[in-house]
Amino acid sequence: MKLALTGTPAWDRADPVNAGIQSVEWVFGIAGVLLWRIGYLEPVSGTEYVFLTNEMTLRPGLIAFLYKLRWDVEKVFDPLKNKLGEQQAWANSPTAKATQGQLICLLHNLLLIVEARLKADGIENTAEMARKQKTFTKAQEFAAALGRKIPSPVVALQRFTQHSVKLLRWLRSSFADRLDWDAATPRLRVLYATL
């Protein structure tokens, strides 16, 4: 697709949401559709991204953040292949693939409910949370040393994208041992405390 540059809109470089944004341009795409071309520099890795969008009412930093969230959605499916052994589709028909996709989404949402119930019962993977915070703090320090800032939406939305192996193994063994909630949760508490 050949894009024709038509101008540069005004945008707030000082806005912390726009941290990492290098350029914002108006371009004409196929059939004369006006688009934004947003250049973004990831503050830690230094990777440059270019995003195209016809959404021109949001701040450019939010557009980059929405693309990051889209990638997080892709990462949700990794545990199914890597931790749950779902390597291939069950069948080839569109109906079977759609059904498998719906069951994957259902599983993810059920795991979120289990994690919320565990949190309400005071059971959290504090070691993993501390590791994640330490990694994020190092990333912020590294970006700052390079004279870069991590965009404020990324800082504000720190969460796990994937379910932990500990949780998945605990669920598997609890189902295999046919344990009810009250019998199973002490095992997870110990697992979270020791590994």
Residues 40 and 135 grouped into a single domain: no
pLDDT tens, the chain, 195 aa long: 678 889 999 999 999 999 999 999 999 977 778 899 999 999 999 999 999 999 999 999 999 999 888 877 777 666 666 666 666 666 788 888 788 778 877 888 888 899 999 999 999 988 888 888 898 899 999 999 999 998 888 888 876 667 788 888 899 899 999 999 999 999 999 988 886
What residues make up the domain containing 47?
4-73
Looking at residue 82, its pLDDT comes to 65
Residues 15 and 111 grouped into a single domain: no
Are 14 and 59 a contacting pair, CB within 8 Å? Answer: no
> CA 8 to CA 38: how far, in whole Å?
10
Tell me which of 18, 41, 73 is where a domain ends: 73
Residues 64 and 82 grouped into a single domain: no
The pTM assigned to this predicted structure is: 0.69
Looking at residue 195, its pLDDT comes to 64
Tell me which of 73, 106, 124 is where a domain ends: 73
Residues 188 and 126 grouped into a single domain: yes
List for the chain the helix, strand, coil content (%; round to 5): 55, 15, 30
Residues 144 and 96 grouped into a single domain: yes
Residues 114 and 180 grouped into a single domain: yes
Looking at residue 72, its pLDDT comes to 75
Residues 101 and 172 grouped into a single domain: yes
Strand ranges in the chain using DSSP code E only, listed in sequence order: 4-7, 21-28, 34-41, 48-53
> CA 149 to CA 33: how far, in whole Å?
33
Residues 50 and 92 grouped into a single domain: no
Tell me which of 18, 40, 73 is where a domain ends: 73
Residues 185 and 93 grouped into a single domain: yes
Residues 17 and 96 grouped into a single domain: no
Are 158 and 131 a contacting pair, CB within 8 Å? Answer: no
Phi (first) and psi of residue 58, to 5 degrees:
-85, 160
What number of helices (H) and strands (E) belong to the chain? 7, 4
Q: How many domains does the chain have?
A: 2
Residues 54 and 69 grouped into a single domain: yes
Name the DSSP class of 39.
Answer: E
Residues 109 and 182 grouped into a single domain: yes
